[in-house]
Structure 1
Amino acid sequence: MMTTVEPLSTLSRWYLYAIHGYFCEVMFTAAWEFVVNFNWKFPGVTSVWALFIYGTSILILEKMYLYLKDKYNIFARCLIYTLWTYIWEFTTGLVLRQFNACPWDYSQFDFDFMGLVTLEYAIPWFCASLIVEQLVIRNTLRLRYDERAEPGIATTAAVYANGHIKTN
């Protein structure tokens, strides 16, 4: 008997990407607070808007990855992802600012634009895009959903063949 396994739905992948981005935002702000103010409490902060912003952005990066992976090398792809990140951050920030809901303000940075983006984050965004492609997107696309599996019970099937789980 062959049990088919399906890739995760778009909504499931969006959820994983949203949680990943949210977590990374909290960790980055905690690390930033430590480096800048030597605060041992590591108070990481973010906004609930980060779930939508990161989930949607990384889902778009996933589509970009699938389109670009055979056309450009990793360096060029990460440059494209970084450019996308700046466009997305600026656009979402501009929209949120209209409702007095933009959770970030880069006005204190030397190379900011309207307080919504800053060139000082170019290297961190580039590195983040590398991590997102190589670890998050690639591994998320490998995840499969087995409708017949029982939660908490290990399946005896461990051999995959052509998108199916071989069961005895």
Structure 2
Amino acid sequence: MLLRFLIYGVIGWAAEIVWTAAYELVTGTRKDPLDPRVRVAMTRPERWKLAGHTYLWMFPLYGLGGLAFEPCHELIRDWWWPIRGALWTTAIFAVEYAFGRLLRAASGRCPWDYSYARWHVHGLVRLDYAPVWFTFGLLLERLHDALRGLGG
């Protein structure tokens, strides 16, 4: 279980770093260091640095989230893939929202803030990311299948 926790955590971190680097390359914007609710324009050389980022807080979220979703995957394994994808989307939104609220309550702020986005919910989730979470959830099923039997 510890090994799977570590693998989920590392893969989550890596995916987030790649996502944020690609997002900044495509949009040409980054968070304003003085106000994370605002996006500021990047120069072309800044964009091509591909400097993705993540937060230390995310490692346990990714590790525990991966482990928590394993039993759910076993329960829904035979369901039609669009239904499974919709369930993963909903579950990921719920976890992201709950963890963001928890971090905000504990520390006064959440490391991510989507307030700048049109389709955000309290700055904690972006509804326009639904296709990403749909796909990511189905990919996590493949990862879970590959990890079955590792680390008890």
Does 2:95 align with 1:79?
no
Q: Which runs of 5+ in 2 are unaligned?
A: 29-43
Q: Deviations over 1:6-54 (max 9, x none)?
A: xxxx121111111110110111001101111160000101100110111
| Equivalent position amino acid for 2:3 in 1 | S
Higher helix share: 2
Q: What is the TM-score when the length of structure 2 is the normalising length?
A: 0.82
C-alpha deviation, 1:142, in angstroms: 5.0
| Contact 2:4 2:150 (C-alpha < 8 Å) held by counterparts | no
Number of residues of Structure 1 aligned to a counterpart in Structure 2? 134
Structure 1 residue aligned with 2:32? none
Structure 2 residue aligned with 1:165? none
RMSD: 1.6
- Match of 1:106, SS? coil
| Contact 2:4 2:151 (C-alpha < 8 Å) held by counterparts | no
Does 2:17 align with 1:26?
yes
C-alpha deviation, 1:100, in angstroms: 2.7
Pick the aligned partner of 1:139 from 129, 132, 146: 146
Q: What is the TM-score when the length of structure 1 is the normalising length?
A: 0.75
Structure 2 residue aligned with 1:89? 96
C-alpha deviation, 1:143, in angstroms: 4.3
Q: Aligned partners of 2:101 and 2:135: how far apart in 1?
A: 24
Structure 2 residue aligned with 1:52? 60
Structural mapping, 1:116-127, within 5 Å: 116-127=124-135
- Match of 2:148, SS? helix
Q: Which runs of 5+ in 1 are unaligned?
A: 1-9, 146-168
